[in-house]
Amino acid sequence: MARSAAAALLLLLACAGAAHAQLLGSRLLCAGRTPASVTGLKATPGNGQFALAWQPVPCAAAYRLTAQRTDVQNTNTLRFEVAAPGTTAVVNNVANGASYRVTIAACNGDLCSAPAVLAGVVPAPTAAGTVPATPTGPVVQNVNGTAFKIPQKRAPVS
């Protein structure tokens, strides 16, 4: 079985070029594998928002995230997904001064890692005169407890 997969990869390399073969080869290697857990999860609080960033995980096709307010009971959990290779997201319309718990799992189809947890994320107004960084990943808009992903526009490639 491994021999036929290697032969198929070599044939693919010869026919499709190295870049396509590497991408498809990694998909073959990751098929049916649960990704490792996410590491390096960090939050940067902002005014009514927080930005999230993490390290990429091999074999992850997407990252499933949750954010829930922890200082008030019975609040809705925001659930959203970031497609790999993305490793950032911004959660908007959250309460300044409130504490949030964030979880993230690396997923390959229905196979997901154990979630990484970051507790105590507290959005706060930015200091006067500072401008928050422009997000590079999806923006998650919290509207009455429902998360909506707003894709970022990419600059045209010239």
Residue 132 above 60 pLDDT? no
CATH class, domain 42-127+134-150, is mainly beta
**Number of Cβ within a 10 Å radius of residue 31:** 11
Rounded to the nearest integer, the mean pLDDT of the chain is 77
Q: How confident is the model at residue 13 (pLDDT cuts 50, 70, 90)?
A: very low
Nearest to 78 by CA among 125, 88, 89: 89
Average pLDDT over residues 16-42: 71
Tokens coding 17: 């070029």
Tokens coding 33: 């594998």
Nearest to 48 by CA among 91, 81, 107, 5: 91
Residue type, 61: A
More confident residue, 102 or 29: 102
Residues 6+ positions from 145 with CB-CB distance below 8 Å: 75, 76, 78
**What is residue 21's three-state secondary structure?**
helix
Average pLDDT over residues 41-58: 96
